[in-house]
Amino acid sequence: MSTVQLAVTSAKDLMTPAPISVRAFVTVKEAAALMVDMGIGALAVVDGENHPLGVISQTDIVRYDREKTDYPFSVSEFYERVVLDSSDKMLGELHMENVDATPVTDIMTPVVYSVTPNISAGDVIRKMLEKRVHRLFVVDDMGVLIGVISTFDILRHLEEVGV
């Protein structure tokens, strides 16, 4: 197996600085709208000092919507109808009808996987694989959110070195 050398050496080099986040009191509906508007799949949920409390993802929102909704047909019928009724349309938007004023803290994943800016790029990748996550948050010495590293960030850097 060949070894690929990253052009970056640390989490700071890989991260997207100043990630978009939401405060704990934001509603699920507001978070969903922000994700759609910004084209992102997840948001850090932070306290007043910008310390990460959890993560709210599209998966969390869809699961929440599914649990709250009484669908008039089975899941297999739903997919059949989507395929048959939408074959000529693009489904590019997260659509939610049943979202109320529920705060993101009620449905977020309350676990935050984070790294410090100086951890090696290799250790970032190992941690993502070990934890089976698509993103790691980068926090400073005070635990303040300063960046995010997604699998897309890593792929972008791999592309830069010609992999």
94: in domain = yes
pLDDT > 50? residue 85: no
d(CA 56, CA 40) in angstroms, rounded, equals 11
d(CA 32, CA 70) in angstroms, rounded, equals 20
Q: What's the domain count of the chain?
A: 1
2: in domain = no
Determine the pLDDT at residue 88.
Answer: 44
129: in domain = yes
6: in domain = no
30: in domain = yes
How confident is the model over 138-158, as pLDDT tens digits?
A: 999 999 999 999 999 999 888
Rg of the chain, C-alpha, whole Å: 18
Beta bridge partners of 86: none
| Mean residue pLDDT across the chain | 83
Q: What is the CATH number of the domain that holds 48?
A: 3.10.580.10
Name the packing angle between helices 28-38 and 58-68 (round to 10°). Answer: 140
57: in domain = yes
What 3-state DSSP class applies to 138?
A: strand
88: in domain = yes
pLDDT band at 68 (very low <50, low <70, confident <90, very high): confident
How confident is the model over 93-139, as pLDDT tens digits?
A: 555 554 478 999 999 999 999 999 999 999 999 999 999 999 999 99
1: in domain = no
